[in-house]
Chain A
Amino acid sequence: MGAIYRREIGAFFTSSIAYVFLAVFYSITGFMLSMENLAGGATNLMTVFTTMFIISIFMIPVLTMRLFSEEKKQRTEQGLLTAPVSLTGIVLGKYFAALTIYVIAAAVVFFYGVLLSLFGTVAWMTLLSNFIAIVLVGAAFIGCRRHCLPADVPARGHAGEPYSGSVAPEAAHLSELLHKIL
């Protein structure tokens, strides 16, 4: 799993998907920040987080769509599935790679916090809990995209059910909860 994780992170940056993702994230949330907080003079980052939530819906597929389609396209899935690594290991490696990029994007929120603290007081705990919430939302979304595995799972008895992320329901539930609190 570790090998796959490291490779995918590298691949995200070589293929510039990571840069695109981060650029979109940073620019849109930065814009929101400057409109709402810097111009409006509020330290409530609610708009930023809401924006992040909405961006995620559209941008997460950008991260995840190439995770498996590349494998299929380049026929490298055969290499992965004939290696002594479990299917779980493969999926988790890719999952955490996508999640890492997402967390790097979401972590800009701390930078915004620091920026705003120059002008007023920032409720750091709220910031933190919002950050965790948005990360969980991202985790859920990434998990939901995990449905493009090869059809024939090599184990007797499996008739080729598409894999669905079991992390997704839990994370989605948790993030809903947190969001309501905030």
Chain B
Amino acid sequence: MIEVRHLTKHYGDKKAVNDISFTVNDGEILGFLGPNGAGKSTTMNMLTGYISSTSGQALINGVDILEDPIAAKRNIGYLPEIPPLYLDMTVKAYLNFVFDLKKCKLPRRSHMKDVLTLCKIKDVEDRLIRNLSKGYKQRVGLAQALIGNPPVLILDEPTVGLDPKQMVEIRTLIKRLGKNHTVILSSHILSEIQAVCDRVIIINKGVVAADDTATNLSDKVTTDHRVIARIEGEKAAILQAIRAIPGLKYVRADMEREPGIWEYEMEAQPGQDIRREINRIARENEWNILLLKTMEMTLEDIFLKITMGEHVELKPKGGEQ
């Protein structure tokens, strides 16, 4: 279990991480989402004891990382953004080194074999790390985090540089590991976070912008007051008729999707479902509706909106804004 309380990191005047608090329970997979420079890696570095925090606490299984770093680090398997690989060693020699470094008490041969097989690097175990491809290097990095079977795994962009097949493999692996490990995963690939993580934290400019499950986040922002419609008819007249709907915030002709047929994007007041109004208007004017749907926000939309500073209306369902 990981507890972060009011973690802050200042670099002079710059607040890289500003009062971040969250908890990760045992067996949970948490996704860290945020643009570059948001403070994701800084937070992870503070959690693993690589850098010190300016204020605040980070507790790994109840142990404060700054009070008792050795005990805390024993519980952590960390894969940094750039895997700490010694290029002049072979895979097996390197992992043995990590085994000794972590003072692992597990039976060496069987544990090594397990980790090598799990990360699918058994066939390159005698190769120099310098000679491995990026994908293999990444997997060796993941393997070193798994040595010692630490209860907490902190993975900074674990699938970067992997081909799609390998990405799926690693994601499946992480999901499996998540069953009996506590995992924090940071990524830019939103679909990955959505697929693997139970909860998502969106960090922007050093603060937590959102903290909830992926589905909840989508739910909170999915609205039926945003509608996309493709209507066959004269553009100006359509716009005029739609603008007449009471409570409408805006409508705009988005794109000419089919010859002579525009797609209209419109938004009404929160909670107001205008689809029936659209139907009525179309019937009255004898226009054909070729497409009518509510605009759902994917995690990507939420992410972009939040990080671009737009106000995202989250229904107050007991979550944080």
Residue ranges of A at the interface with B (Cβ–Cβ < 8 Å): 2-4, 6-7, 10-11, 14-15, 74-86, 152-156, 158
What are 15 A-B pairs at a CB distance below 8 A? A6-B100, A7-B86, A74-B84, A78-B50, A82-B48, A82-B49, A82-B76, A83-B101, A84-B74, A84-B101, A85-B70, A85-B101, A152-B52, A154-B49, A155-B52
How far in angstroms is the closest Cβ of chain B from A84?
4
User: Nearest chain-A residue to B48 (Cβ)?
Assistant: A82
* Residue from B80, B84, B102 with most neighbouring chain A CB atoms (10 Å): B84
Q: Does any Cβ of A come within 8 Å of B312's Cβ?
A: no
Task: Give bound CA distance, A80 to B94, whole Å.
Answer: 13
Q: Is the CB of B88 within 8 A of A14?
A: yes
Q: Does any Cβ of A come within 8 Å of B103's Cβ?
A: yes
Q: Does any Cβ of A come within 8 Å of B251's Cβ?
A: no
Q: Does any Cβ of A come within 8 Å of B255's Cβ?
A: no
* Residue from A2, A6, A7 with most neighbouring chain B CB atoms (10 Å): A7
Residue ranges of B at the interface with A (Cβ–Cβ < 8 Å): 45, 48-52, 66, 69-71, 73-74, 76, 78, 80, 82-89, 93, 97-98, 100-103, 144
Closest 6 pairs (CB-CB, A-B)? A79-B84, A3-B100, A84-B73, A76-B84, A84-B74, A82-B48
Task: Give bound CA distance, A133 to B78, whole Å.
Answer: 44
How far in angstroms is the closest Cβ of chain B from A17?
11
Contact for B100 among A2, A11, A158, CB less than 8 A: A2
Task: Give bound CA distance, A11 to B80, whole Å.
Answer: 23
Task: Give bound CA distance, A96 to B144, whole Å.
Answer: 25
User: Nearest chain-B residue to A11 (Cβ)?
Assistant: B88
Task: Give bound CA distance, A74 to B94, whole Å.
Answer: 14
How far in angstroms is the closest Cβ of chain A from B178?
21
Residues of A with C-beta under 8 A to B69: 84, 154-155
Contact for A156 among B45, B52, B74, CB less than 8 A: B52
Q: Is the CB of A11 within 8 A of B84?
A: no
Task: Give bound CA distance, A2 to B96, whole Å.
Answer: 12
Given known A14-B88, A85-B101, contact A155–B66 (CB-CB < 8 A): yes
Residues of B with C-beta under 8 A to A84: 69-71, 73-74, 101-103
User: Nearest chain-A residue to B93 (Cβ)?
Assistant: A10
How far in angstroms is the closest Cβ of chain B from A137?
29
Residues of A with C-beta under 8 A to B73: 82-84
Given known A7-B97, A11-B86, A85-B70, contact A75–B102 (CB-CB < 8 A): no
How far in angstroms is the closest Cβ of chain A from B4?
16
Given known A3-B100, A82-B73, A83-B73, contact A77–B84 (CB-CB < 8 A): yes
How far in angstroms is the closest Cβ of chain B from A79?
3
Residues of A with C-beta under 8 A to B50: 78, 81-82, 154
User: Nearest chain-B residue to A79 (Cβ)?
Assistant: B84
Q: A77-B84, A156-B52 are in contact. List 15 more A-B contacts (CB 8 A).
A: A3-B100, A10-B89, A74-B84, A76-B84, A78-B80, A79-B80, A83-B73, A83-B101, A83-B102, A84-B74, A84-B103, A152-B52, A154-B49, A154-B66, A155-B66
